Amino acid sequence: MNRKYNHVLEDVEKIIGCSTEEKIYFLREEKWITYPLAKEILDKMDTLMQYPRKSRMPSMLLVGETNNGKTSLLNRFMQKNPPIRNSETVETTKIPVIAIQAPPGGNLNELYTNILNQFAVPFRNTDKIAKKQQQVEYYFGLCGLKILIIDEIHNILSGPVAKQTIFMNTLKTISNNLQISIILAGIKDALHATNTNSQISNRFKPVFLTKWQLNREYLSLLASIEMTLPLKQQSSLASSKEMAQKILDLSEGYIGEMIDLLALSTEYAIKNGIEKITIDSIKKSGYIKPSLRKSFEDMVSL
C-alpha cells in the first residue's frame, strides 16, 4: 500500500489526520525509543532474569543523571516481564519483577511498606519491621519473584552513614536469603550508597547511562525520534548539522530532554500550521535548557 507520509512510522501516520488535540495528546504519551546502549543494558537485565537461583545472586547499579533514560529503561524492562496469572490456581499470580522507590534516609520500615504496597496485600502500617520482613519474604516466595528494582537509591544518602550501611546490608541479605537479583538505579551520587563496604560495591556493579555526543549513534537516535512525531513534513533532524547541534546543545546531551524539546517544538509546529520542526520552531517552543532551569530555581529560592 502506498503511504502518504513515509517519514514516520505507520502507527504515527494514522494520527497525522486527526485533530490538533488528538495529535498533541499522542505526542505527550510515553513512547519507547530504542538505541544501542539501552539494548545492551536491557540484555544485561534479561541475563539477571534468566539467572539460576543460588546463594549469591548477581545484581546491578544503573547510574545516570536526571532525565537521561533510567526510568524509561526500567519501565521497558517491567513491560517485558509482566505478572503472569497461575493457571492452576486463581489465588496466585507469578510476579517476576517489582519496582519501588528507595525510602529517604534508608528507612527499613518504609522499604518493606513500599514492597508490600506493590503486592497490594493487606498489612498494618503499625506492624513492626520484623513482621513486615516476614510478609515480604512470604510474598516474594509465593509469587516467584526474580528481581527487585529500587529506583532513586541515592535517597538513602539523606540518612546517617550507619543507617545507610544497615540498609545496604539488608538488601544484600534479602538477595542472599531469597536468591533474587536486585537492580538499583540513581544519579551519580548512588555510587556513594553502594560504597559502604567492598562486599556491597562488588555485588552492585555499576552500569552507566552517559550523555549523548554528536556522533553516528546520536544522529540515528534523532532519526528514530522524528519517526514518532505526527508532522506532515519531514524535518530532517539527523541530516541537518545545524539542527542536530542545536538540539544537542539545548538538551545538554540528555535523551529525556531531547524528547521533551522535540515534543514542544512539534506541538508549536502543529498549532501554527508549520508541520515540520525548524530552528525557529525550536526557539519559539518555550523549552528551557536544564542548566538554565537550575539557575531559575536557585533565584526563586533566594
pLDDT, tens digit (0-9, with 9 covering 90-100), for 121-168: 889 989 999 999 999 999 999 999 999 999 999 999 999 999 999 999
Q: Residue 103: what are its φ and ψ, rounded to 5°?
A: -75, 145
Are the CB atoms for 237 and 222 separated by under 8 Å? Answer: yes
Alpha helices in the chain (DSSP H): 10-16, 20-28, 36-50, 70-80, 108-119, 129-142, 161-178, 190-193, 198-203, 216-226, 241-251, 255-271, 279-283, 290-301
What pTM, to 2 d.p., does this model score? 0.91
Would you put residue 292 in left (φ > 0), alpha (ψ -120 to 50) or beta? alpha
pLDDT at 291 over 50: yes
Tell me the average pLDDT across 186-205. 90
Which residues are paired to 64 by β-bridges? 209
Share of the chain above pLDDT 90, in %: 88
Tell me the average pLDDT across 46-74. 95
pLDDT at 297 over 70: no
Confidence band (pLDDT; 50, 70, 90) for 298? low
CATH number of 36-209: 3.40.50.300
Confidence band (pLDDT; 50, 70, 90) for 60? very high
d(CA 60, CA 148): 11
Strand ranges across the sheet with 59-64: 97-101, 147-151, 181-186, 59-64, 204-209
Q: Give per-residue pLDDT as tens, 66-92.
A: 999 999 999 999 999 999 886 665 567
Q: Give per-residue pLDDT as tens, 219-277.
A: 999 999 999 999 999 999 999 999 999 999 999 999 999 999 999 999 999 999 999 99
Domain boundaries, the chain: 10-30+212-289, 36-209
